[in-house]
Structure 1
Amino acid sequence: MVLRRASLVDGRAAARVLDDADVRAALAVCALDPVGSVLAAARIEQAQTTGIRGAGGALWGFEVDGSLRAVCWAGANMVPVVPVDDGNLASRALDAFAERAKDHGRRCSSIVGPAPAVLALWERLRPTWPGAREVRDDQPSMVIDTRPRITSDPDVRRSRPDEFESVLPACIRMFTEEVGYSPASGPGGPYEARVRGLIAEGRSFVRTDRDGRVQFKAELGAVAGGVAQIQGVWVAPELRGRRLSEKGMAAVVEHTRRDVAPVVSLYVNDYNARALAAYRAVGFRQVGTYATVLF
């Protein structure tokens, strides 16, 4: 496929709004860094079926000599996917994405992805976009592509659709603890629909007690390019310190590698020493660094 050339703004190449015909080329860009790009790639893979608009956002591309070299997903989260081995190309692509984002206006709740691109994009946007609520600039990106080092919890399993009313409160508590506000939007709201969808897709995992109360939970928040990214890891506060997270994560890894994707990833705040120790005990290793700008 021959890609259209990007236009110029003040003599510089501008980002182009991509359409459904560009999806395959965009996925090829993501494939250069499957772990770093998984958040964007998951949406772009969805666009193969639903179209870009149906995937819930817009897709921007930066081209050099008619070849797509970098992309940026602009939806509820903004996720830049730019090359790391060519500093000049990365700088030009980020300039182009920043200009497009300024024209687009801030509609996202975060900028997230590999730290070099996220932080550089935010530096370009900070003078004109409203101030960030928080910048998490050091979030180790970790993967495991082997069997866990520890024995998994046999009681961790996929959530069932009839458990939605029990799983949802745990998800809301996790999100509120992590981000600082409740995502609840009422019955049928977007967050509730997201939780229900993950359960239906077999991407929600729980351990419950005899009364059905959630003791441990985690989700596969993004799956694309042979990578499944775990998100939303949570242990009930009264049970913390009993290694439920280590054994629970080992179980999630086993389920995921067997049924979903061979590589399992996650990212975690650098100051969360307990979580980092737990993930390393399971067998996760750091392969990069993410960053998140929260609005």
Structure 2
Amino acid sequence: MNLFGHRLPPPLTPLDPSQLEGLLELCAIDPVAGVALAHQVLRWPGWARGDVVADDRRRPAAGAWATGSLMPFGLAARPELGHPGAGGDVARALAEHAFRRLTSRGSVAGPVADVAAVWEHLAAAGLHSREERWEQPLLVAPRLSGGTLAGGVLARRPALAWAAAGVHRATPAEEPLVLPASVDMFTGELGYDPTASGSSYARHVSWLVASGRSYVLLDDGAGAPAGADGPRAIAFKADVGALWAAPGGTVAQLTGVWTRPDLRGRGIGSVALAAVVDVLRRDRLGVDGVVSLYVNSFNAAGLALYRSLGFTRVGTYATVLL
């Protein structure tokens, strides 16, 4: 039975890891919005047929990662970038391709217009959402002509210099501290414990730590610097969820930004996040690199924090939770 009507949609082209040039060129039209898909397809040395698809291999107008979750890009027109979009037939073809691949606890996520284009067909075919988040501002950290982002914050909060100095890549020895903090962040964000249904989330956190993508600040458990031999806890964490050496400069997308609840409102998260941006620029991105993130529109505290650091909005993401 064809849940998407009698007229057959145009076929999509499955891509393998040797056929990514066109898809990456598509993502490069808007690298801050396209970094998540570009990172995803470059991360894996291989995947099953149909996990990555496009409407054309050499010059695609749209493409997607389509497994238990769906990450579309390019479906909607972006006239300001000279991109005509892929059209409704391609959006319907992608919906039909993804319909039986999507799983419970999966998602459809990406630039809002692309998510809307494919979700229209998925919902019409009977796919139900657990929650729909259509307003997730996509933000970028300010470019500085001199100094550091943390330096500007510390001018107002000099007593928190220890927090800026203490931000570092999590080590494997710190992973037992990082995992509970990551679970708390995830549970607060999505409403369920990701470890309750298996070990995949713990493996993901382990990969973030092992690949140097998880940045943390430790304290003594009470908001003071951690001593060499005393108690230690995660005060703040942020992950580099996506990283891509795009043609115009490397782009990092931060995910999992979290400050321990008892420390919120004390400035520690602001200082630590600024320090993460500085460290990324120094060690991984260079002067032309971009640090981005997206945040739920209902997260007033997060929006206020990013605004105070000078983050500016460059677009909108959407996430449909299944």
TM-score strictly above 0.5:
yes
1:227 aligns to 2:251 (yes or no): yes
Amino acid at match of 1:84: R
- Superimposed CA distance per residue, residues 51-71 of structure 1 (whole angstroms, 9 cap, x where no aligned partner): 2449xx81110139x632210
1:207 aligns to 2:217 (yes or no): yes
**How many residues are aligned here?**
280
Distance (Å, rounded) in 1 between the aligned partners of 2:178 and 2:188: 16
Residue 173 of structure 1: how far off its partner (Å): 0.4
Amino acid at match of 2:191: G
- RMSD across aligned C-alpha pairs, in angstroms? 2.3
Residue 107 of structure 1: how far off its partner (Å): 3.0
Q: Is the Cα contact below 8 Å between 1:228 and 1:260 reproduced in 2? A: no
Distance (Å, rounded) in 1 between the aligned partners of 2:179 and 2:8: 50
Q: Indicate the residue corresponding to 2:278 in structure 1.
A: 254
Amino acid at match of 1:207: L
Q: Indicate the residue corresponding to 1:111 in structure 2.
A: 108
- After superposing the two structures, state which structure 1 stretch, 149-158 or 25-34, moved more: 149-158
Sort the Cα spacing of 1:164 and 1:129 in 2 relative to 1 into closer, same or farther, 3 A. Answer: farther
Q: TM-score, normalised by structure 1?
A: 0.87
Amino acid at match of 2:302: A
1:137 aligns to 2:131 (yes or no): no
Sort the Cα spacing of 1:223 and 1:76 in 2 relative to 1 into closer, same or farther, 3 A. Answer: farther
Distance (Å, rounded) in 2 between the aligned partners of 1:219 and 1:88: 31
Q: 1:26 aligns with which of 23, 27, 50?
A: 23
2:186 aligns to what SS in structure 1? helix
Amino acid at match of 2:172: P
1:265 aligns to 2:292 (yes or no): yes
Distance (Å, rounded) in 2 between the aligned partners of 1:11 and 1:235: 49
Residue 38 of structure 1: how far off its partner (Å): 1.3
Q: Indicate the residue corresponding to 1:160 in structure 2.
A: 171
1:150 aligns to what SS in structure 2? helix
Q: Is the Cα contact below 8 Å between 2:167 and 2:272 reproduced in 1? A: yes
Residue 283 of structure 1: how far off its partner (Å): 2.0
1:260 aligns to what SS in structure 2? helix
Sort the Cα spacing of 1:200 and 1:283 in 2 relative to 1 into closer, same or farther, 3 A. Answer: same
1:190 aligns to 2:200 (yes or no): yes
Distance (Å, rounded) in 2 between the aligned partners of 1:191 and 1:10: 40
Q: Indicate the residue corresponding to 1:279 in structure 2.
A: 306
- Superimposed CA distance per residue, residues 93-140 of structure 1 (whole angstroms, 9 cap, x where no aligned partner): 3122112223x4423710111001112211110122431000000000
Q: TM-score, normalised by structure 2?
A: 0.80
- Over alpha carbons, which structure has the higher Rg? 2
Q: Indicate the residue corresponding to 1:216 in structure 2.
A: 236
Q: Indicate the residue corresponding to 2:78 in structure 1.
A: 84
Q: 2:185 aligns with which of 174, 177, 181?
A: 174
Amino acid at match of 2:201: Y
- Superimposed CA distance per residue, residues 259-287 of structure 1 (whole angstroms, 9 cap, x where no aligned partner): 22311110000111111111121121100
Q: Is the Cα contact below 8 Å between 1:84 and 1:90 reproduced in 2? A: no
Distance (Å, rounded) in 1 between the aligned partners of 2:237 and 2:142: 21
2:266 aligns to what SS in structure 1? coil
2:18 aligns to what SS in structure 1? helix
Residue 88 of structure 1: how far off its partner (Å): 5.9
Structure 1 residues without counterparts, runs of 5 or longer: 1-8
Structure 2 residues without counterparts, runs of 5 or longer: 1-5, 155-160, 220-225
- Superimposed CA distance per residue, residues 121-163 of structure 1 (whole angstroms, 9 cap, x where no aligned partner): 1111012243100000000000125242534722211111101
2:52 aligns to what SS in structure 1? strand
Distance (Å, rounded) in 2 between the aligned partners of 1:174 and 1:69: 35
Amino acid at match of 1:59: V
- Superimposed CA distance per residue, residues 213-234 of structure 1 (whole angstroms, 9 cap, x where no aligned partner): 1111111111113211111111
Distance (Å, rounded) in 2 between the aligned partners of 1:128 and 1:105: 14
Identity %: 37
- After superposing the two structures, state which structure 1 stretch, 251-260 or 84-93, moved more: 84-93
Q: 1:61 aligns with which of 43, 54, 57?
A: 54
Sort the Cα spacing of 1:190 and 1:105 in 2 relative to 1 into closer, same or farther, 3 A. Answer: closer
Q: Is the Cα contact below 8 Å between 1:106 and 1:129 reproduced in 2? A: no
